[in-house]
């Protein structure tokens, strides 16, 4: 008989999960700052500002790709963490720890930034449109190494994470259904199923958080994945600019809605955010009174 036990001591909805949630919130905030505010809105409303300078634009392209990669892969890491905590009880005690979560977060963020450094060289300076050199994308489509690098980047984000999250959620749902039926049958023999099961409540909260975050990712990244499959994998090079723009909008919307999900579902996240916001104010008040 299989019975899921979500203990708070190892990695239920506790510090381990909090590490992933806070790192995901920071990554999502960076997506909004670099991709939406500095890149999209800055280029739209200030086409010849310092943001379009060759060096600034090239560095910003690295940050744009890196913060998106970090946000996506941290979602995968969180989904894997929840899968192990729910479905792999023997491995849970070793993997679902704050130390492991910290190393996973650090590794994913480091790899995301290092992997996107070559993007700096995909641009060249253009001296004809402004008083200073602005960014111009190099013609790299005919160069096999660069084409392979850019194409593999799209596979790395979001195709592999998308498939991974779908697979992990499917396995998690399957395990939950089997374990829930077994647990209900076991408890009904002892108390006729009338008492509230605390383990079922813990499981319910964990599953709500898991599917709110990963489901949000699956829905809002779907257009981006479809665009990649049709235009690059199926070699359909026809103009699909509307689909591309909608996909980017939904992709950035995912970063906005994730923070709302954390705030609505996690009291500890709300407390931590409140502490981060109010601590500088309290220190300023103490300094003024001194």
Domains and CATH numbers, the chain: 15-273 (1.20.1070.10)
More confident residue, 5 or 128: 128
0.85 surpassed by pTM: no
Report, as an integer, the average pLDDT of 198-209: 71
Rg (CA), the chain: 23
Give the angle 230-59-124 at the CA atoms, nearest 5°.
75
For residue range 65-122, what is the model confidence (pLDDT) as tens digits? Answer: 999 999 999 999 988 988 888 888 888 888 888 889 999 999 999 999 999 999 888 8
Asked whether the predicted pLDDT for residue 223 surpasses 50, the reply is yes
pLDDT at 236: 55
Spell out where the chain has E strands.
123-126, 134-137
Asked whether the predicted pLDDT for residue 152 surpasses 90, the reply is no
pLDDT at 1: 32
Closest CA to 83 of 187, 225, 209: 209
- Environment class of 190 (CB within 10 Å of its CB; exposed 0-12, middle 13-18, buried 19+): exposed
What CA dihedral angle connects 196, 204, 1 and 80, to 10 degrees? -160
Helix H or strand E segment including 261: helix 241-265
Report, as an integer, the average pLDDT of 251-272: 76
């Amino acid at each position: 008989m299989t019975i899921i036990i979500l203990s708070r001591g190892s990695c239920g909805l506790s510090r381990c999960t909090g590490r992933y949630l806070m790192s995901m919130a920071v990554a999502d905030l960076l997506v909004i700052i670099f991709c939406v505010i500095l890149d999209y809105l800055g280029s739209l409303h200030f086409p010849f500002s310092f943001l379009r300078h060759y060096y600034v634009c090239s560095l910003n392209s690295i940050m744009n790709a890196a913060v998106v990669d970090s946000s996506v892969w941290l979602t995968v890491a969180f989904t894997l963490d929840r899968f192990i905590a729910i479905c792999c009880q023997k491995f849970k005690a070793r993997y679902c720890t704050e130390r492991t979560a910290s190393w996973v977060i650090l590794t994913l963020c480091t790899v995301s930034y290092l992997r996107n450094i070559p993007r700096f060289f995909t641009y060249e300076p253009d001296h004809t449109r402004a008083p200073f050199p602005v960014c111009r994308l190099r013609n790299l489509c005919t160069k096999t190494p660069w084409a392979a690098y850019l194409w593999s980047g799209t596979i790395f984000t979001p195709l592999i994470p998308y498939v991974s999250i779908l697979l992990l959620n499917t396995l998690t749902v399957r395990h939950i259904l089997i374990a829930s039926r077994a647990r209900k049958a076991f408890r009904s023999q002892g108390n006729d199923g009338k008492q509230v099961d605390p383990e079922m409540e813990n499981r319910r909260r964990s599953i709500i958080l898991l599917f709110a975050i990963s489901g949000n990712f699956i829905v809002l990244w779907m257009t981006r994945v479809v665009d990649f499959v049709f235009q690059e994998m199926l070699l359909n090079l026809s103009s699909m600019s509307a689909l591309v723009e909608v996909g980017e909008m939904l992709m950035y919307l995912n970063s906005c809605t994730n923070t709302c999900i954390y705030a609505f579902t996690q009291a500890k996240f709300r407390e931590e955010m409140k502490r981060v916001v109010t601590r500088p104010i309290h220190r300023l008040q103490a300094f003024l009174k001194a």
